[in-house]
Structure 1
Amino acid sequence: MSSHAAQLPTDRPRGVDVPACRAVVRQEIPGLYDGAVGAVAASCASTPENVLLAAFAALVHRYSGENHVEFRAVQEGGKEALLRFSVTGGSTFRGLAGEAGAVARPGPEPARLGVRVGGAPVGGDDRPYEAQLVLPAVEEGSRWAALHFDERLFDPATAQRLLAHYGQLLTDGVRHPDRPLAELALLTEAEQRRFLLDWNDTAARLPHEGRCLHEVFEERTRQAPDAVAVAQGAVRLTYREIDAAANRLAHHLRGLGVGPDDRVGLFLGPSPDLLVAVLGVLKAGGAYVPLDPAYPRARLTTMITGASCVALVSRAEHAATLTDGEHPVVRGHLVLLDRDAAALAARPDHAPEPVAGPDNLCYVIHTSGSTGRPKPIALRHRGVLNNIADLNTRFGVAAGDSVLGLSSPSFDMSVYEFLGMTAAGGTLVLPAPGRAKDPGHWAELAAQHGVTVWNTAPALLDLVLEHVERTAAGGPSPLGTLRLIMLAGDWIPVKMPDRTRQLAPDARFISLGGATEASIYSTLFEVEATDPAWTSIPYGRPMANQRTYILDEALRPVPPGVAGELYLAGDGLAVGYLDLPDLTAERFLHWSYGPVTDERLYRTGDLARFGADGLIELLGRTDLQVKIHGLRVELTEIESVLRDHPRVKEAAVAARPDRTGAPALVGYAVPREGADLDPEEVRGRLATRLPAHMVPGAVLVLPAMPLSPNGKLDRKALPAPPSPHARHEGGAVSAEEAPSGPWEERIATAWREVLGVEAIGRDDDFFALGGDSMKALRSMTQVPEVTLADLYRFPTLRKLAANLRDTAGERGAEEGAAGPE
């Protein structure tokens, strides 16, 4: 078999064992050898058998998406040959039938697919086929075909479906021999109804239909005005207090001219102020734009101007970042909650007259963009509230529940924490300022407040599990009150549900999928028990009033088991990308097929497939987008920023698995002629323009980029970064390089554990050793005096320790190393 020959998608992973066709299914195929088959054969000077072989090549192409199809054909009388086809969506049945007579030279490996014409030999075929199609000879006059298959790879239902689709493709192909293969019917009408309608039968009446997000908060305020809406440190604010403060801000914003669909930037960290600001903007009729204070100024500038913010709400301590300097970022109205406290207090504390409806914008959230600029995604009240109401209804979230607010305001999972939990009448619990990245603090808060709902990316749950497991000393688990765990944004380790239940035995474990462009979540799967055969947690099924489709490149639905691109539809879809009509038209489209008419779709770029029962399995990406710790990252955006370096001629970025298998970013740069590049300086420059999770852990300087034969960048040939262990073979460092002093020794201990390295020298760079933002958080749980900003500014052991000596003194290192009594 050629190394690039197409393979049929299997139900279970291929192993190392030699395949064997020990199972068989049979089916009648009405179109075998009828007049249409003979006519096509005659038109291209071929034989009816070759038309049937061409149909099998077309089937393998449609199932695999690959262009190079080969299989061994054995015909009546024992004549056999290896056939190799070049198949595209533009190929035709007539053309393939003409190719079927061409014999190919054997490849270095035996073919894994076969076709036999004239019946199977007694005892079966002993060749190592994964699947072999057996067809009757012309003179037999039979219309029954069989598929022999390896039951370790395929379920009988899959084999039966393959046979049925072979017949369907053959019938349509001989009727339309000059029609492109991509346009030939593969699914029966019954299958179309099942895959497109039955699996998307999600229509449901939910609470709060026709309402806006802030109106639901007002309803909860009327029901329980003295219930705690948000808690942070010693601060406890009730629904009545939050609602009154939000009303005053809304009147103030109305006075500044804010109305329906106007965007207002919120330059605030997770805090009660942020909840007030979110509701105030919504009550004014506008849409809020979250701006993370941790983001670099250059990125914030792009976000504020790209969203056309008419006003910005912040506090004096944050606003200086945007207003100082020669070119201030804020060009609209600036509202500072502390500076303008007196003016706000003078505003009415009742709700202003409503001016926005469910189809108006509620927020604009930015995600990484392939053009080098973040994409502003505009969402409506209707879609977001549909998602929140579905979750709260489905899982009985209500007054008495509470959630930890751990998501960045710029990440749409925060929408459920701030607006979803309060829509249920529950309490939002926020980390204390300065401790938002501390898993130990999260565990303390969970125990202190009896937190019942967890809503994060998997990496954050992993951090707190790791902390609790490491510090457990008997007694009740701090996570023991959790009853609902919702994870989204990234792959969930298969072992995580069982691991979590050791510490939160009563919690329901929910995997959620979706896209910011579809109002937070679109698919759901509850993990009641893990299957040892799973390679990943299932992606799930569409949620209430949402729909999912998996389509091929020609926008035709694919059968179960076949990979295609995942498309989302339904109430949750965004309006589009704000003021970017071309990009909106590229990713949002209107689609009709079979029983579906004029459905608006969002193209996710996710590669997925259906199981036989409609359960979605996520396989990866179709483009250069990756998930880094649950956050969506366009590699091309990082490349664009890297290319802006004045001494960089060419740039590329790749995501490579680290020692744990998680994707880690690596940058590649070719210097301009005569220029020198310092990788540490390049990384530092990137950190001034990109969020921490988008800064590559390593930058490699190359003399030239590897190119493919057609002159394009060959991403597969980009070199792997040097092993972080190479400098210290044998797990030892010299006396001169060894950590010196309490700070260096304490940091080195944490780094060794987090990075999985045996030895660390004083001048080793945390990121060059394989560190990233999530590993930085893990190290900070052991050395909490370090901040993420510190680590990016002082990435070596020597420099970081020197900074800590200046800020915390030597005594701090000794006290921290001693730990709590």
Structure 2
Amino acid sequence: LPFALTTAQAGQVRALALEVGATPFMVLLAAFQALLHRYTGQADLLVGSPVAHRPRREVEAALGCFVNNLVLRARFHAGQTFRALVAATRATTLDAYANQDVPFELLVDDVKPPRDLSRNPLFQVMFALQNAPRAATALPGLTIEAQLPDSAIAKFDLSMNLVDDDAGFTGYVEYSTDLFERSTIEGLREAFSTLLDHALRDPDTEILDLALLSPAARHQLLVAWNPPAEDEAAPQTIAAMFAAQVAARGDQTCLTTASESLSYRALDARVARLADRLIACGVGREVPVGICMARTAALPVAMLAVLRVGGACVPMDPKYPRERLAFMATDAAVPVIVTDASARGVIAGSSARVIDVNALEDERGDDEGRARGDIAVLRGAAIDDLAYVIYTSGSTGRPKGVALTHRGVSALVRWSHEVYRDDDLQGVLASTSICFDLSIFELFVTWGRGGRVVLVDDLLALQASPLASGVRLINTVPSAMLELLRMNAVPPATRIVNLAGEPIRQALIDQLYGLGTVRDVYNLYGPTEDTVYSTFARLAPGAQGSPPIGVAIRHG
């Protein structure tokens, strides 16, 4: 990929090099290392660089290749400025020049790094600047012009090769097409130019503050990909969105389980009753409430009741080890846990107050349709209040609580209007444990849109379930979807498949479209911290290359 610095950039590079007692190579290498640091987050980088290795006069005119590869290390730390990085690069480079007689092959033998046939030892990225003067060559009747090499094989994962001549700095970026798309390298090339501009303009800027996005790229991210919504309604809490659906479609079925189907109005009545009990137990705005129970209709009732009174759900799957559940309850400081008879034993010993929904059902009598104005949504949360805390495994293996607000869920519901039709959500399979954020989409996005949830124990139980015939949308991980395909158990009414949480292979996409009933397959990516999903892409059958993660979901 061709690359060139502007005339202004070339002049500024030479000026800064002169100012700090370095060479243009050292300034450009520092900028390249800063770019790699910003792209990767690595604080310790190794970059290779070739040297002519003709330190003695007697070999200057000798024919042959004397080139040796140097390994140049860059270390980054908080508060480091570009000027400081250039100084460090200068010291490292001079030290390497002093030891350039050591052949690279002997260095590898001495260091003995872990070997991997898929990559070069010690460094996988190369930076080269050729500054040897070109010999003046003239041939009668011919015009001679230097050309970039046309190589079909990348020697390293990534290389930046520049030539220093009177016109400035020109060259090319060479990259492995097994690792990078051309568009990625085009973006990296543009980011290098933008970072270099900023660094040369103000070398005392900290590395982490150097700009990477050009004005055009910034406009694309902030404006082109995030157009303002027209007549966008104000965001609503989860409880408010559900209440709106109760008012609009009270008699429509919103939940189907193996034992019963409930309308919006009937489900709301159960939510209201449990909400009364939660209020009596002192639950209010942003009070965390543990929810540990089997996957029956009582499970979403408990979640909606907590949200209705302004509390925050802390999902606790009864299939988890008791020690993990105890940690979650203690870490989240839950004063109340909602459970049922099947799960009560796994939370025995907790200091939290326990509400058993089975006992509450026994007390209910025949008042399910009674109006309950005393616990109206007016008692609920504000849009930026805590909605739920989901415990992920954490990088250390110790559970880590991720706290999210209602605003993120509201934005997810708003985004769903851009992707799913109303009838797509009349049969959303809820098969994910409530301890995983995919369940937030399955329950609250569906109800926020007036859809119907099909609640099952797990995805693979679908094969033997009579509920399968009503499933229109499946939201799961690729490995589970592969198993469902192997079992020949994908419900024939399924039109939409959301895949998330794992890398996706094109073969799986093609299998799904090959069923003849699936209309859309989506790749959804995002950490729990970003309210379930950050990006999405509709995946096409028969596509080449790795499936894309798509474009950003607007959470504003």
Provide TM-score, normalisation by structure 2: 0.77
The structure 2 residue matched to 1:143, chosen from 161, 165, 168, is 168
Corresponding residue number in structure 2 for 1:456 = 476
What is the correspondence of 1:584-733 to structure 2 with a 5 Å cutoff? Answer: none
**What is the aligned counterpart of 1:114 among 113, 123, 128?**
128
Residue 223 (1) aligns with residue 248 (2)? yes
- In the TM superposition, residue 243 of structure 1 has moved relative to its aligned partner by 0.9
Show the counterpart of 2:467: 445
| Separation of aligned partners in 1, 2:330 and 2:175 | 58
Is the Cα contact below 8 Å between 1:230 and 1:429 reproduced in 2? yes
Structure 2 CA distance for partners of 1:506 and 1:164, relative to 1, 3 Å: closer
- Which of 396, 410, 422 is the matching residue for 2:447? 422
* Inter-partner Cα distance in structure 1 for 2:333 and 2:167: 70
In 1, distance between residues paired with 2:87 and 2:224? 35
Q: Determine the structure 2 residue equivalent to 1:539.
A: 549
Give yes or no for the alignment of 1:274 onto 2:299: yes
* Counterpart contact for 2:7–2:167, Cα < 8 Å: no
- CA pair 100-318 structure 1, distance change in 2 beyond 3 A: closer
Q: Say which SS state the counterpart of residue 347 (structure 2) adopts.
A: helix
Q: Which residue of 1 aligns with 2:74?
A: 87
Q: For the Cα contact (< 8 Å) 2:17–2:24, is it kept in 1?
A: no
Could you say if the C-alpha distance between residues 288 and 93 of structure 1 is closer, same or farther in structure 2, counting changes exceeding 3 Å? closer
1:363 aligns with: 388
Contact 2:316 2:434 in 1 (8 A): yes
**3-state SS, counterpart of residue 438 of structure 1:** helix
| 1:61 aligned residue | 33
From 337, 349, 352, give the equivalent of 1:331. 352
Residue by residue over 1:644-691, the C-alpha shift from the partner in whole angstroms, topping out at 9 and shown as x without a partner, is: xxxxxxxxxxxxxxxxxxxxxxxxxxxxxxxxxxxxxxxxxxxxxxxx
Deviation at 1:365, TM superposition (A): 1.8
Contact 1:405 1:418 (8 Å CA) reproduced: yes
Matched ranges for 1:1-150 at <5 A: 24-26=2-4, 28-32=6-10, 37=14, 40-41=17-18, 44=21, 51-65=23-37, 67-73=45-51, 82-89=69-76, 90=80, 91-97=84-90, 100=93, 102=97, 104=100, 105-108=102-105, 113-117=127-131, 118=133, 131=159, 133-137=161-165, 141-143=166-168, 145-147=170-172, 149=174
8 Å CA contact 1:479, 1:504 repeated in 2: no
2:140 corresponding residue in structure 1: none
Equivalent residue runs for 1:494-533 within 5 Å: 494-529=506-541, 531-533=543-545
Q: Match for residue 241 of structure 1?
A: 266
How far residue 100 of structure 1 moved from its aligned partner, in angstroms, is 4.5
Letter in 1 for 2:480: L
Supply the AA of the counterpart residue of 1:247. Answer: A
Identify which of 332, 335, 341 aligns with 2:361: 341
Q: 2:403 aligns with which of 378, 381, 392?
A: 378
Counterpart contact for 1:57–1:70, Cα < 8 Å: no
CA offsets 1:573-629 (integer angstroms, 9 cap, x no match): xxxxxxxxxxxxxxxxxxxxxxxxxxxxxxxxxxxxxxxxxxxxxxxxxxxxxxxxx
Are 2:49 and 2:72, in contact at CA under 8 Å, matched by a contact in 1? no
**Displacement, 1:285?**
2.3
Query: Cα–Cα, structure 1 residues 205 and 74, in superposed 2: closer, same or farther, change >3 Å?
Result: farther
Q: How far apart, CA to CA, are the structure 2 residues paired with 1:273 and 1:308?
A: 23
Q: Does the 8 Å CA contact 2:386/2:406 hold for their aligned counterparts?
A: yes
Q: For the residues of structure 2 that align with 1:242 and 1:330, how far apart are their CA atoms?
A: 30
For residues 239-259 of structure 1, what are the alpha-carbon distances to aligned partners after superposition, in whole Å with 9 as ceiling and x for unaligned? 121111111111222222221
What SS does the corresponding residue of 2:355 show, helix, strand or coil? strand
Q: Distance in 1 between matches of 2:7 and 2:513?
A: 50
- Label 1:283 to 1:100 Cα distance change in 2 as closer, same or farther (>3 A): closer
- Equivalent-residue separation in structure 1 for 2:390 and 2:196 (angstroms): 48
1:406 Cα deviation from its structure 2 partner: 0.7
Q: Is the 8 A contact 1:265 1:309 kept in 2?
A: yes
Q: How far did 1:85 drift? A: 2.7
| 2:315 and 2:434 in contact (8 A); partners too | yes
Measured after TM superposition, the shift of residue 157 of structure 1 is 6.9
Shift of 1:382: 1.9
Identity over the aligned pairs, expressed in percent? 23
2:372 corresponds to: 350
C-alpha contact (below 8 Å) 2:195/2:210 kept by paired residues:
yes
Q: Give, in whole Å, the separation in 1 of the partners of 2:236 and 2:47.
A: 54
Counterpart AA for 2:161:
L
CA contact (8 A) 2:235 2:411 kept: no
Q: Are the counterparts in 1 of residues 69 and 104 from structure 2 also a CA contact under 8 Å?
A: no
Q: For 2:383 and 2:185, locate their aligned partners in 1 and report how far apart those are by CA, in whole Å.
A: 47
Q: Which shows bigger deviation, 80-89 or 485-494?
A: 80-89
Greater CA deviation, 83-92 or 147-156? 147-156
Aligned mates of 1:228, 1:520 — CA distance in 2:
25
**Structure 2 unaligned runs (5+)?**
38-43, 55-59, 106-119, 136-144
In 2: Cα distance, 1:364 partner to 1:390 partner: 22
| Partner-residue secondary structure (3-state), 2:327 | helix
Tell me if the contact between 2:294 and 2:340 (Cα under 8 Å) persists in the aligned partners: no
The 3 A distance-change label for structure 1 pair 30 and 309 is: same
Conserved? CA contact 2:425–2:452, under 8 Å:
yes
Instruction: Give secondary structure in 2 for the equivalent of 1:233.
Output: coil
How far did 1:83 drift?
Answer: 4.6
Distance (whole Å) between structure 1 residues aligned to residue 5 and residue 321 of structure 2: 63
Distance 2:419 2:386 in 1: 25
Summarize the Cα distance change of 1:367–1:214 in structure 2 as closer, same or farther, 3 Å threshold. Answer: same
In 1, Cα distance between equivalents of 2:351 and 2:16 = 73
Query: In the alignment, is the contact (CA less than 8 A) between 1:452 and 1:483 conserved in 2?
Result: yes
Partner of 1:732: none
Query: Which of 210, 222, 227 is residue 197 of structure 1 equivalent to?
Result: 222
With CA pairs under 8 Å and 6+ residues apart, which has the higher RCO, 1 or 2? 2
The code of the aligned residue for 1:295 comes to Y
Contact 1:322/1:329 (8 A) holds in 2: yes
Task: Give the AA of the match of 1:355.
Answer: R
Q: 2:286 aligns with which of 253, 261, 267?
A: 261
Opposite residue 463 of structure 2, the aligned amino acid is: G
Q: Is the 8 A contact 1:365 1:376 kept in 2?
A: yes
Checking the alignment, whether the CA contact within 8 Å between 1:206 and 1:386 is kept in structure 2 is no
Gap change, CA 1:247 and 1:29, over 3 Å in 2: same
What per-residue deviation string (whole Å, max 9, x for no partner) do you get for residues 132-154 of structure 1? Answer: 634344xxx42352337469577
Cα distance, 1:70 vs. partner?
2.4
Contact 1:292-1:410 within 8 A present in 2 as well: yes
Mapped partners of 2:213, 2:449: distance in 1: 44
Matched-pair contact (CA < 8 Å) for 1:314–1:337: yes
Letter in 2 for 1:543: I
Contact 2:295 2:455 in 1 (8 A): yes
| Other structure's SS at 2:342 match | helix
**Aligned-residue offset at 1:514:** 1.5
> Could you say which residue in structure 1 is the equivalent of 2:111?
none
Q: CA deviation at 1:543?
A: 0.7
Alpha-carbon distance between aligned partners in 1 of 2:75 and 2:482, rounded to the nearest angstrom = 44
Structure that is richer in helix per residue = 2
Q: 1:107 to 1:336 in 2, by over 3 A?
A: same
Q: 2:483 is aligned with what amino acid?
A: L
